[in-house]
Amino acid sequence: MPSEIYAGGHAGKIASIQPTRWIMSFPSVVAIAAERGLSLQALSSKDAESVLIEAVRRDCPEAIAYLHDRAHEADKQQGVVLWTENPNSKLGKQLIRIHASDAVRPLVERHVCHGKQLTFLNCCGGQIGTPKPRDEGTLIRLQIQMQAGPIAYADC
């Protein structure tokens, strides 16, 4: 049994292992709950949201600032802002962590992006602004553009 747990690698066996180091997307969750005197096993919905969004702010500060700026840019353009970032950069890794979670993405939309929706396209880009395209064809075309089209950025 390994002494380290990697997210997703041994998820079914976590209860029976005493890991020496956790690798997770938002490690400050535990510290924030402790600072607030909260038990992670007994969080209200309001406390859970508050703890998680604060963890995202602490653990992904560059991405939070970047998305907040893009939200204001979308306001100025009255629409959508496309973004691309090297997925291997510090910022790129933070953006992926935020966009990859169905729990985190709506919190960031609400608390950071002033209600503007985030759409994740590929591992290196997305859009922020008007509601996410509901038309699957539009999303497919945007994904293709991220691969080989005019907004292609990184081969990852």
Shared domain for 96 and 156, answered yes or no, is: yes
List the pLDDT tens digit at each of the 156 positions of the chain.
Answer: 333 444 444 444 444 344 445 556 899 999 999 999 999 999 999 999 999 999 999 999 999 999 999 999 998 987 889 888 888 899 999 999 999 988 999 999 999 999 999 988 777 788 898 766 666 777 677 766 666 655 555 555
Shared-domain flag, residues 78 and 140: yes
Judge if 50 and 95 occupy the same domain: no
**pLDDT score for 125:** 80
Domain residues for 51? 1-59
Closest to 52 (Cα-Cα) out of 29, 75, 35: 29
Last residue of a domain, one of 35, 59, 83: 59
Residues 91 and 110 in one domain: yes
Do 153 and 104 lie in one domain? The reply is: yes
- Do 69 and 25 belong together in one domain? no
Q: Looking at the 3D structure of the chain, how many domains does it have?
A: 2
24 and 83 fall within a common domain: no
| DSSP string for 73-101 | HHHHHTS-EEEE--TTSHHHHHHHHHHT-
Q: Residue 77: its pLDDT value, please?
A: 85
81 and 48 belong to one structural domain: no
- d(CA 143, CA 141) in angstroms, rounded, equals 5
Asked if residue 88 and residue 72 are part of one domain, the reply reads yes
Taking the C-alpha atoms of residue 28 and residue 109, their distance in angstroms, rounded to an integer, is 20
149 and 101 within one domain: yes
Residues 151, 78 share a domain: yes
